[in-house]
Amino acid sequence: MDTEVYLEFRTQTRGYTLLLETDLFGDWIVTRYWFGLKNGRGSTKQQLFSKWKDAFKEIERIEKIRLRRGYVRL
C-alpha cells in the first residue's frame, strides 16, 4: 500500500499539519508540523512505523486530540 495522507488543522492562532508517507525502505513516517499563524514559529516531530495500520492508528489518535483541543480540520 503506497498511500500518502495529509491532514491540516487550525485554530485562530495556531496551525497543525500531519503527513503520513513511506520512506525508501517501505517504512511509514508520521510527520507532525505545528506553528503559530502570526509569528510562524513552530517545530516538527517524526515517528517511524513498520506497519501502515500502526501509523494510521497514530494519525487517528492525534486527530482526535487536535479536535478535542479546539482545532478545526481543513
The pTM score is 0.88
Tell me which residue has cell 516538527.
44
Domains of the chain (ranges, CATH numbers): 1-51 (2.20.130)
The confidence score (pLDDT) of residue 37 equals 94
**To the nearest whole number, what is the mean pLDDT of the chain?**
94
Nearest Cα residue to 10 out of 31, 30, 36, 43: 36
The confidence score (pLDDT) of residue 40 equals 81
pLDDT tens digits along 19-74? 999 999 999 999 999 999 999 899 999 999 999 999 999 999 999 999 999 999 99
CA–CA gap between residue 17 and residue 7 (Å, rounded): 6
